[in-house]
Chains A and B, each alone.
Chain A
Amino acid sequence: MTAPAIELKGISKAFGPVQANKDISISVQPGTIHGIIGENGAGKSTLMSILYGFYKADRGEIWINGNKTEIPDSQAAIAAGIGMVFQHFKLVENFTVLENVILGAEDGGLLRPSLAKARKALKALAAEYELNVDPDARIDEIGVGMQQRVEILKALYRQADILILDEPTGVLTPSEADQLFRILDRLRSEGKTILLITHKMREIMEYTDTVSVMRRGQMTATVKTKDSSPEELAELMVGRKVLLRVDKVPAQPGAPILEIEGLRVVDDAGVERVKGIDLTVRAGEILGIAGVAGNGQSELMEVLGGMTVGTGSVRLHGNPLPLSGLGADGRSRRAAHIGHVPEDRQSEGLIMDFHAWENVAFGYHRSPEYQKGLLMDNAAVRADTEAKMAKFDVRPPDPWLAAKNFSGGNQQKIVVAREIERNPDLLLIGQPTRGVDIGAIEFIHKQIVALRDQGKAILLVSVELEEILSLSDRVAVMFDGQIMGERPADQTDEKALGLMMAGVAGEAA
């Protein structure tokens, strides 16, 4: 038997008080695709970054091809034949593909010969692995799928035998993802070893030979994929049976609350992100918007939340909502009884350095009940915070703690409490459970359903299909700034939605 391509022994890593990896051991056979699956924050990326020398492990050993190897930096990882494609690409945007490929792997001090050599090598690689990329295109002029190819080419140009891919399909359409897996298959057949990090069950089941499951910084199991089942892996991943469907009674949709017609959003770079969509959300229903990240959902939420400008017609209770100019801001939206849980709580929903109580006032800081004459009534805000913390079981229930010092789930509870407790007529909620632990997910889902049952309208955006399917009453799919189709949630499934997410328009159901 050949030595494992990679063997990790007892790897541990802590970031301050957070133990990201605890005593992890794993062995990966050469010429296989080895999946690593786990929830957000399970420590997958940290482990791979250690293997790539991006972080240094506190303890543990790395063995490559049967040799104990020190990997203090990425240089050493590259020398050991390891290449990595990060979730967020590490490319220089105003460089060409060629320049990005040779960066750090140049031949000698002058650029010209290095570029010429790389151009030849790239041609050969393109032929061998079907990795066609224009070597003279600038990175900021090509799409994400292409950028990912450049990352793979970078690794291959450095003669990597082991390729790590961190959540490679997060930004890809299903068809782009299929292409990627064809390339990976080709690489495997050439004897390369591939480590695939993902939280998507489908990818694990379809493409991997072996799978390791991580939970809360620990490796809970490594099994042959064909000997396992999604249910078994899911249980290993979360530690108990997953609640696939949220308990809820059928919706009782009432009058339309939000009516969108021909809505368009153009971003700062002049690219049209939302291309004339029509949607209606009724009282007492949850409309879920599915789609691969980056297909206009964020911009849709932003324009409805008053964070960006758009054109078209949006009516709330039949009254037009300004999409630009006066009244097109978050404050006016709140005044119109629109609650908004933004997609990114760390950079938008919360001010991480503010105390919890300041964050409870955040966005509502000009509300009359928080004012006392010219000044703010901080005592009133703090009392309100304590009440909300108790009701939403925020831990620790300390109004004076800075937002950054709460866990992800508790941070999200603060945001959700602030927006839901105002009793909005319409709730915009984006990625409600991203980076949130299972317990908090259930709690937040229940709150959303409870708000619906009070007869409020809810517009939900999530890239987690499972969340969309279990929470929504109706599902609309966005692709390339357009609505590809709408389905009642109980009359569709992941496969049908997946097709629409890839841009295949759905026929009437």
Chain B
Amino acid sequence: MNVAIQQLIHSVDLISPELILLATVCVMFITGPFFVSEGGAAPPGLRKRWGAFSLVALACAGFVWFTSPHADPVTTGPFRVDNLTWYVRGLSLIIGAVLAVLFIDQVDDSHSAEAQACLLAILAGVNLTAIANDLVVLFLALELVSIPTYVLLYLPRRGQSNQEATVKYILLSIFSSAVMLYGMSLLYGAVGTTNLVGILEALRGGQAAGSATLLRMSAALLVAGLSFRVAAVPFHFYAPDVFQGVTSAGAALLSFIPKVVGFVAFMRLLPLAGGLGLQTPAAGAPSLRLLLAVLSIASMLIGNLLALRQQNLQRLLAYSSIAHAGYMLVGLAVGWGAGTTSGISALLFYLAAYGLMTIGVFALIACVGSSGSAIRTQSDLAGLSRTHPAIALGLAVCLISLTGLPPTGGFFGKLNLFLASWSDGTTMGIVLAASLALNAAISAWYYMRLVAVMYFENAPGDAPQKVSLAPAVAGAACALGTVLLFLAPQTIWELAARFTP
């Protein structure tokens, strides 16, 4: 009994930032409705207060995170704290604050409490994914990300397309969860425990030697389920429709949060399939490395080529996010190799850079378009450099960063992936590096076309729209962060490089 209580207290200690977030979520859900009348009318400015409230909660969680230990000895408990946890927590809290600012103006006053609460729950889920040391906890954390996302996407209720997109996302997301759960159950069947450390020990001890096929199947299912989260080809079909249907803030969330969750889960789960040629190509057995590399090249190529043909801005950015999933998969594919630059570190660095640039793009798009005339197509951007020069400049910085050109953080993101894949030394690494270069060139075409529309075409002529402040602040923070990441990348890199799988 005593032991159980001690374990409980220890666990509470470990997940205190998440508990702060979840307690705030409870407060918001319970008290939120009392501020809204039955007809749905809310006092004006309520959303700003809820936004401030969630920022305070994030700041508290951030303080606890910042003073928490970077790494604890990994036990067989349900949670583990290592450098990955620390990095991902920081990333999700900081980018989460940007998202919270962005969401202030994106929902109406009557739903603002629920929207901010869902966002905090999602961030808690992201953190729990990184801290999970058990298949069950991992799955619960992934669901803690997914379910509030459904609500958050559904809240604005902007017509048919929004509902259709949300339903599409819900159904496919549940399907992918089921696939992953099946993979986890096969893994459990092969080794007899759900604890990640326990599974690793069982595999090292050769207890699962008889169930190699089972392991292989579970690895395939896990990869499939997580590929849905990161929107990698061939599990990407939902992305363009969903991005088109939801609001800009929702798309910003979808372009970043599921990717973090997916890649963190990849980093936790893939070592469990170590026998399948993750370190070195296994003789006579299908190699997981090869599978990841194929997924990566397919995502890059298909994402970029289809993005070339898009007129709708949100669809274009959806395909761009598919392509970026491909870039990050490069890091994963070479992550367990013998290169001098670690692919996993490069991937973690890229995640930070990618979060800043993609959320920056969506935030700056959101701040120009009001709810009546949101920016939907490329031609809506025409003449932005005349009507809103500062926003156009910020958007150009973020787009240049997505292309991977200096002077932006995206350049170092790509360079690190390059170095990692080339220093891997295998043919696969060389092919991956070459396709990275090829795809960076293809993607320049459509990103630069957006810049060209902003700067070289004249505005359609009607009066300049009002700029909403909150997304502009979020976008400006992202654009500045992108440039800062180029000038002083060392800190982020060191934090990212501390984690060795």
Physical interaction between A and B: no
Residues of A at under 8 Å CB distance from B? none
